[in-house]
Copies of this chain bind each other. A is one copy, B any other.
Amino acid sequence: MSDAVSLEITPSKKAAGTIVMKFGGTSVGDLDRIRAVARRVQAERDTGARIVVVVSAMAGVTNRLVADCEALDPLADPREYDAVVASGEQVTSGLVAIALRRLGVPARSYQGWQIPLRTDEAHGKAQIEAVEGGALLASLDVGEVPVVAGFQGVGPDGRIATLGRGGSDTSAVAVAAAIRADRCDIYTDVDGVYTTDPRIVSRARKLDRITYEEMLELASVGAKVLQTRSVGLAMREKIRVRVLSSFAEPGDVQNGSLVVDEDEILEKQVIAGIAYSRDEAKISIRQIPDRPGIAAAIFRPLMAANVNIDMIVQSTGVDGMTNLTFTVGRSDQATALSVLEGARETIQYGELQTSRDVVKISVVGVGMRSHAGIANTMFSTLAERGINIQVISTSEIKISVLIDAEYTELAMRALHTAYGLDAQ
């Protein structure tokens, strides 16, 4: 979570109106979509802006390449996996440059190693360590549109390194930081950030603006519109990020949401949005002898096995025994259970229970800092519908509850109304 962008060269003086335009997989899904992207870039450039384009692989390509690697070896060497998988963005960068040149726009592709965009050695899920802005700025200075292959860089070993799923968003923000761009536009298949998932809550409303912190919390608790790391990087580097649809008409003023600093938002809302995550597994340990050091005895081996523990609740049972319930991501569930089975002798618990029939629902908003009663609205709204809260966790601008999965839609619609988020 700590992509650093150290400017290894001093960027040339900042030009007015430099914009990074990032296009996701569906936005470049076929040759017609690529032509549409080229026209959109041309239109933006015709306003006088300097443009850098960042592209993902064409939709479906990355999945096919990953499947080929895994078919040969489920534990494929991550450096070779990276060489294979990064080819998807390489192809798109070349094709978009060709489409732009066809329109008379001077463009050229840049692979990660050509910029260079330097990463650490964690192949397959590398962190960005530095983006050199020199080559891109030189391209801009001669009127070119650089088309950067997202998701990829070059590691300290001189080999191609990929940033992990969703990494192209992070590439775009890192490039924007390196050239001190005025804005980073993330083109995707939705027209902005919504108060919640419109497929579940039909009265969801598009937000014109949202703060970095809220976006970061929403992304981390399940909202899929932006990749968490890219938001964190944008917040640290103060890059204004706009999320918008590549399927809307160019120039559509209704298109898009802006992710900005809190002081750029005049009419603040208490709650920005509601997110949910089904990627949850609940584990309960029952009848644990209630003695000092017992929590450490439970969590130390789990952490050693790289299991990420999210929400925790402890409850008192009968006979001086205690119960402990916590959640992990579904991919960690099997590991966690096997670790706890192995520690049965040490912990001396009675019973181990687990379930995936749970959902985590989170309410996020910077207004929580100044407004009391936010949590109470949540608890009473859910209680009125007879929905039992199994675990609760909070942060400064977020409240999350774990509930039975069958109440997901009911709970989200009720909370959306209770917090006054419904569209008029």
Interface residues of A (CB under 8 A from B): 31, 34-35, 65, 68-69, 71-73, 76-77, 79-84, 86-87, 90-91, 93-95, 97-99, 101-102, 108-109, 111, 113-114, 158-160
- Considering only CB atoms, which chain B residue lies closest to A84 in the complex? B94
Determine the distance from Cα of A11 to Cα of B386 in the docked complex, in whole angstroms.
77
Interface contact B76-A98, CB-CB below 8 Å? yes
Q: In the bound complex, do residue A72 and residue B108 qualify as a contact, i.e. CB atoms below 8 Å apart?
A: no
Q: Closest approach, in angstroms, between the C-beta of A85 and any C-beta of chain B?
A: 8
Which 10 pairs from chain A and chain B are nearest by CB?
A: A84-B94, A83-B94, A87-B87, A73-B102, A80-B94, A80-B97, A76-B98, A72-B98, A80-B98, A87-B90
Complex Cα–Cα for A31 and B71 (A): 8
Given A80-B101, A98-B80, A72-B114 contact (CB < 8 Å): no
Q: Most chain-B CB neighbours within 10 Å: which of A35, A80, A94, A158?
A: A94
* Interface residue from B72, B81, B87, B99 paired with A73 (Cβ < 8 Å): B99
Alpha-carbon gap, A68 to B160, bound state (A): 24
Instruction: Evaluate contact between B111 and A83: CB separation under 8 angstroms.
Output: yes
The answer to whether A69 touches B81 (Cβ under 8 A) is no
Residue among A98, A113, A159 having the largest count of chain B Cβ atoms under 10 Å: A98
Knowing A69-B98, A102-B72 touch, does A108 contact B80 (C-beta < 8 A)?
Answer: yes
A66 nearest CB across to chain B (Å): 12
A90 touches B98 (CB 8 A): no
Q: How far apart are A231's CB and chain B's nearest CB, in angstroms?
A: 30
Q: How far is the CA of A77 from the CA of B94 in the complex (A)?
A: 9
Q: Is the interface of A mostly helix, strand, loop or mixed?
A: helix
Chain B contacts for A72, CB-based, 8 A: 31, 34-35, 95, 98-99, 102
Alpha-carbon separation in the docked complex, A406 to B111 (Å): 51
Residue pairs across A and B with Cβ atoms less than 8 A apart, 11 shown, are A31-B71, A34-B72, A68-B91, A69-B95, A73-B101, A80-B109, A81-B98, A83-B93, A84-B94, A90-B90, A114-B159
**Which residue of B has the minimal Cβ distance to A30?**
B68
Q: In the complex, what residues of B have CB within 8 A of residue A82's CB?
A: 94
Q: How far is the CB of A119 from the nearest CB of chain B, in Å? A: 16
Residue of chain B at shortest CB distance from A92: B84
**Do the beta carbons of B84 and A90 come within 8 Å of each other?**
yes
A76 to B103 alpha-carbon distance, docked (Å): 11
Instruction: For residue A157, give the distance in angstroms from its CB to the closest CB of chain B.
Output: 10
Specify which of A35, A84, A101 lies most central, judged by the most chain B CB atoms within 10 Å of its CB: A84
Most buried by B among A68, A82, A99: A68
The CA-CA distance from A79 to B139 in the complex, in Å, is 15
**Which residues on the B side are within 8 Å of A84 (C-beta)?**
90-91, 94-95, 98
A130 shortest CB reach to chain B, Å: 18
Cα-based distance from A109 to B102 in the complex (angstroms):
34
| Contact indicator A81/B94 (Cβ below 8 Å) | yes
Min CB distance, A47 to chain B, in Å?
24
> Could you say which residues of chain B place their CB within 8 Å of the CB of A91?
65, 68, 83-84, 87
Give chain B residues whose Cβ lies under 8 Å from the Cβ of A71: 31
Which residues of B sit under 8 angstroms from A160, Cβ to Cβ? 111
Query: Are B94 and A69 closer than 8 Å at their CB atoms?
Result: yes
Do residues B114 and A31 form an inter-chain contact, with CB atoms below 8 A? no
**Are the C-beta atoms of A83 and B73 separated by less than 8 Å?**
no
Whole-angstrom distance between the Cβ of A152 and the nearest chain B Cβ: 11
Identify the closest chain B residue to A159 (Cβ): B114
Contacts of A102 in B (CB 8 A): 72-73, 76
Residues of B within 8 A of A65 (CB): 91
By beta carbon, the residue of chain B nearest A76 is B98
Indicate whether A114 sits within 8 Å of B77 (C-beta atoms), given known contacts A31-B71, A72-B35, A95-B72: no
Docked Cα-Cα span, A102 to B93, in Å, equals 31
How far, in angstroms, from A74 to B73 measured CA to CA in the complex?
Answer: 39
Residues on B with beta carbons closer than 8 Å to the beta carbon of A68 = 31, 91, 95
B101 touches A77 (CB 8 A): yes
Chain B: CB-nearest residue to A149:
B83
